[in-house]
Amino acid sequence: MSKRTNKKENSVSVDNNVTTEQKYYVVTRSGLRVSELVYTNKNDAKTEFDHWTGILKKWPDGTKIELVEYNETKHKVS
């Protein structure tokens, strides 16, 4: 499942003094996000990753498609 980013959402949960952070993933093309979608796991993002990989196989332009961990500063949508 994908979801839109929500800056007010808290992705850190604390349980018995153990901090675990939920990881989110985005698909990038040459370091830039290809859509506004943010995925909760890599398997959900695989569909969009495969879509863009197929496009680049048909029309190669030297860019690189990657499935990366979401970073709010680096991957913000304007």
Tell me the pLDDT tens digit for each residue of 15-66.
566 667 889 999 999 999 999 999 999 999 999 999 999 999 999 999 999 9
CB 44 within 8 A of CB 7: no
Q: How confident is the model at residue 8 (pLDDT cuts 50, 70, 90)?
A: very low
Q: In the prediction, which pLDDT does 16 show?
A: 62
- Is residue 6's pLDDT more than 60? no
- 34 beta partners: none
HEC-encoded secondary structure of 40-52: CCHHHHHHHHHHH
Domain boundaries along the sequence of the chain: 23-78
